Structure 1
Amino acid sequence: MTTKLNLREWATYLGVIRRRWIWVAAVFFPVSAAVAVTVFFLPRSFEADALILIERREPLMRKIPGGYDFDQYLLTLRQMMMSETNLRAIASKADMDLGKNEKALRGLVEKLQKTVSFRNKGRDLFEVRVSGDTAQEAYVLAGTVSSHLVETSLAIRRRAAGAAYDFIQHQLENFRNKLQEAEERLKFFKAEHVEEMPGTENTNLSRLQQTKTDLQAVQLQVRELAEKRTQLKEQIETEEPMILATTDSAPAGIRTQQMEAALAQALLTYTEKHPDVARLKAEIAAAKAAMAKGGKGAPTGGTGTTAANPIFQQLRASLAAVEADLAAAQAREAALNARIGDYRRKTVSIPEAEQKYRQIVRDVDVTAGIYSNLLGKLEDARIQKEVEIKDEGISLKIMDPAKLPLHPAKPNRPLIILIGVLAALGLGGAIAVLRELLDRSFRSRQEVEEELHLSVIGAIPEISTPSEDRRSAQRLRWAVVGTSAYLCVLAGVAGVELARQSGIFR
């Protein structure tokens, strides 16, 4: 039963093809022929490739601590190659800019930006691919782009190495001057604040204490000298500048004067409670008492002379000496007070001076660190510059130069024609099926019985008229002509394509 159904289905399909083949042919031949002709007129595109090798001389590159960032370097290089300036240079080397105005040159640059591409082929390989309208154009452009890429890479590396060296050298000079200035500031600050440096707190405090002790001693000396000055002034007030010396009393008077002079001299050294001072005072008092007792009843007309009182003179000299010593002691007291104030100021200002000192030292250290770092970088830049000048660092080499393409890369004509044929066949079949579905007439006894549920008594065979026979013959002739034309078109397209591939014409 299943076999009968399958045969019936196939019979139905064959019947549809037999009845509707004209629609399939009417769509298939024009569409497929149009696709074939259209493909023939599609512009061809040729591609040429050049393989670039990245040479990395690792032993030499290890001399440079920073080395190279290869990926970033290649990315930057590719971006630069696609810039308008480099593409204009490439077009000029390939003689593509001859006779072109500015607008045409810009169009050429835009075209090159679309047709030039780079593809990674491995860790140390990448490919330069260029598309062109002709094989010669693609070949020339690929060779020009690859050579320009190698030249540009070398120029960029040398220029960058030289610029880096010059920049670091300039910065080194600036920081050398800054370091010298910072060291001079530190030297001047230490000289100006030698007693306020960190660690001098104990020294200043000990000096302050010692100065206070010296001040107390000087103040005591000032008080003693002031008391002596007062005593001397009192003694001077009790003495007469001139005395009358008689012949009889001259020895006793001279003795008394000598003792008083000795007393004045002793008072310059000792206090009144000193035994020598007390003894001299007692002797002077006894001598004066004896002179007074012996002089009672003496004749008034005795001989005598007027002379300077030596005691008065001695007291005046002692007063001058005491006042001089007192002035010196007071001056020393003032100097010690000033020194104490200076030590106190320095002790108080030590934290601030220490802060400024540490800031200056920090500036010196930071500047010295930067300067030392720049020295190392300058040496690295010098090595890198020499490496680039000798072309011993990273370098690009054309490993596989571009070759003249023998066949166009685009379009793939056989594939497009095949797709067009299948599409035309499918479109024709779809139209035939649609026509069959729209036709509601019965084609067999089975269709009548299945549709009307009635038994068919008899069937009248199809009887064609002469006019229908003529139309059928005419359709057949048109089908033969169309098929022949279609085959001629395909043969012509194939022949032209073979001629192009053979190099007969391009």
Structure 2
Amino acid sequence: MEEIVRQALTTLRATWKHRHLGMIVAWVVGALAAGVILRIPNQYEASARIYVDTQSILRPLMSGLAVQPNIEQQIMMLSRTLISRPNIEKLIRMADLDLDIKNKAQQEVLIEDLTSSLKIVGVGRDNLYTISYRDPDSAKAQRVVQALVSIFIESSLGDKRQDTDSARKFLEEQIRNYEKKLEDAENRLKEFKLRNIDLAAAEGKSGIDRLGDLTTQLSNARLQLREAEQSRDALRRQIAGEEPVLLPDSVGGDSSISLPEIDGRIDTQKRNLDSLLQRYTEQHPDVVGARRLIKDLEEQKRQEIVARKKYAAANPGSSVSNNPVFQQLKVSLAEAEASTASLRARVSEYEERYKRTTSLMKTQPQLEAELAQLNRDYELDKRNYEQLVSRRDSAELSGDLDTAGSMADFRLIDPPRSSSKPVAPNRLMLLPIGLLVALAGGLFVAFAASQIRPVFFDSKALRDVTDLPVIGTVSLISNEARRQKERSSLRRFYIATAGLVSAYGLGIGILVFLSRQAT
């Protein structure tokens, strides 16, 4: 710590040795600083305040029907992007700033100056905006602010209408594109359904369900065909005389007499009953119905036998061919032949459907996947188309709303006006700064001179720098004349310092006096 203090004192003594040079430099720098400060041109500021009223009665009324833009965000973006090159060029023409422009370089300088000098500042959250500009000519500053206010209001209205028109054109183009896509999707879906009519007809049921239904229908048709064939064969045997039916009362009971038509149906129902009993109980409705049908057929057989016995007893000499019962058998045979042919055609059709369904089941997963893809594409295009149409209607309603009344109202609170007194530069602040700069410059020059031409004030500093042993030192004994000379030098330094400070103080006082006189 002691070494640091010693080095600091040595540096101060060396700087003090060149104090006269430093004072001369301080005076020069101070004079230059004062001249520059006094020659800075006065700046007059013009300003205007604009209020943006976003509380329009149309906004809640049109909520959900028209596009509701974020008015506050739009105004904020507009205020930030207003100072652009096209707007600055327009402002130059509106404020007649291009009258003194003679070449392209001057125009570029003017544009850069305006871009850096114009300010648009939002005031709090009340949608208040202040537009300000500074210039040596107060009238010019006021013209610039007036032109910028006009551009601010016009841009807010023109850009909104332009955005609405651009959005409408874009939506119209996209709607036409999606109309074409929707038509293509509908045509592809129609062609697919025409090519795969079976799949479309069976839509809503799986292949297993349709195959099960066809299996049941085919089994029932085959059962009915066998019943019809047995009934037909029985009628044929009766007509061929294999089993005579017109006999008098036989020794045996009615059970010994055979009626092939009815017996065949009874046998079929009995086999069906056996099959049902293997799957269901006696109380099952199908089992009860089968037993009731067998009972009805047996009763019908009994009544038929009784009727034939009565006819045979009443007409003992009649032949079989002239017997009305025989004629009825021939009619029944014809009906049985027709029913058999019909049932055979039905069985054939069901068999063909079964084969087609079986073949279709092999390709059904691929067809269903293709149909699902077509439906998905169609639904996607349809949904996008409906959304675009809805947005187009909203955009048109928004455009009509802009025409009927603006969603934001721009009000000029304070018209553009220029200050009567210059707002810059603040010379009362700059002059003390100039004095400090002058004193700092003089101190720096004195320090630099001490470093350029170093001086040793004791033997220890000389020994530390040269790294040589010091044999001895010679002291200077000042006489009266030398002491008088040093006092005169010190007096001149103090006078010069006081004169510099007094000159700046006088200048500040004059400026204060002039400013009070102006008010």
Q: TM-score normalized by structure 2? A: 0.56
**Secondary structure of 1:157's partner?**
helix
Tell me the residue number matched to 2:326: none
**Secondary structure of 2:204's partner?**
coil
Q: How does 1:354-503 map to 2 (within 5 A)?
A: 354-425=368-439, 462=481
Kept after mapping to 2: 8 A contact 1:20/1:432: yes
Tell me the residue number matched to 2:124: 122
Tell me the residue number matched to 2:359: 345
Which string of whole-angstrom CA distances, capped at 9 and with x for unpartnered residues, describes residues 391-418 of structure 1? Answer: 4213433322321133444432221211
Which string of whole-angstrom CA distances, capped at 9 and with x for unpartnered residues, describes residues 73-107 of structure 1? Answer: 24542454233222211111112224544443333
Residue 168, structure 1, aligned to residue 175, structure 2: no
Tell me the residue number matched to 2:115: 113
Residue 210, structure 1, aligned to residue 224, structure 2: no
Whole-angstrom CA distance in 2 between matches of 1:361 and 1:67: 34
Tell me the residue number matched to 2:202: 196
Q: What is the identity, as a one-letter code, of the residue corresponding to 1:81?
A: L
Which of structures 1 and 2 has the bigger CA Rg?
Answer: 1
Whole-angstrom CA distance in 2 between matches of 1:138 and 1:76: 24
Q: What is the identity, as a one-letter code, of the residue corresponding to 1:393?
A: M
1:153 to 152, 156, 165: 156
Q: What is the identity, as a one-letter code, of the residue corresponding to 1:40?
A: L
Q: How does 1:262-277 map to 2 (within 5 A)?
A: 273-275=242-244
Change (3 A) 1:80 1:431: closer
Change (3 A) 1:375 1:488: closer
Change (3 A) 1:497 1:224: farther
Whole-angstrom CA distance in 1 between matches of 2:382 and 2:236: 70
Change (3 A) 1:363 1:22: closer
Q: What is the identity, as a one-letter code, of the residue corresponding to 2:84?
A: S
Shift of 1:334: 5.7
Change (3 A) 1:109 1:463: closer
Tell me the residue number matched to 1:139: 142
**Secondary structure of 1:197's partner?**
coil
Tell me the residue number matched to 1:49: 47
Change (3 A) 1:352 1:59: farther
**Secondary structure of 2:159's partner?**
helix
Whole-angstrom CA distance in 2 between matches of 1:184 and 1:411: 78
Whole-angstrom CA distance in 1 between matches of 2:224 and 2:115: 99
Tell me the residue number matched to 1:7: none
Kept after mapping to 1: 8 A contact 2:50/2:414: yes
Q: What is the identity, as a one-letter code, of the residue corresponding to 1:31?
A: V
Whole-angstrom CA distance in 1 between matches of 2:412 and 2:435: 44
Q: What is the identity, as a one-letter code, of the residue corresponding to 2:146?
A: G
Kept after mapping to 2: 8 A contact 1:55/1:396: yes
RMSD: 5.4
Tell me the residue number matched to 1:250: none
Q: What is the identity, as a one-letter code, of the residue corresponding to 1:406?
A: S
Tell me the residue number matched to 2:274: none
- Identity, in percent, stands at 21
Q: What is the identity, as a one-letter code, of the residue corresponding to 2:151?
A: H
Kept after mapping to 2: 8 A contact 1:165/1:385: no
Shift of 1:493: 12
The alignment covers a number of residue pairs equal to: 381
Change (3 A) 1:460 1:372: closer
Change (3 A) 1:267 1:196: closer
Kept after mapping to 2: 8 A contact 1:197/1:353: no
Q: TM-score normalized by structure 1? A: 0.57
Change (3 A) 1:137 1:325: same
Kept after mapping to 1: 8 A contact 2:146/2:416: yes
Shift of 1:68: 2.4
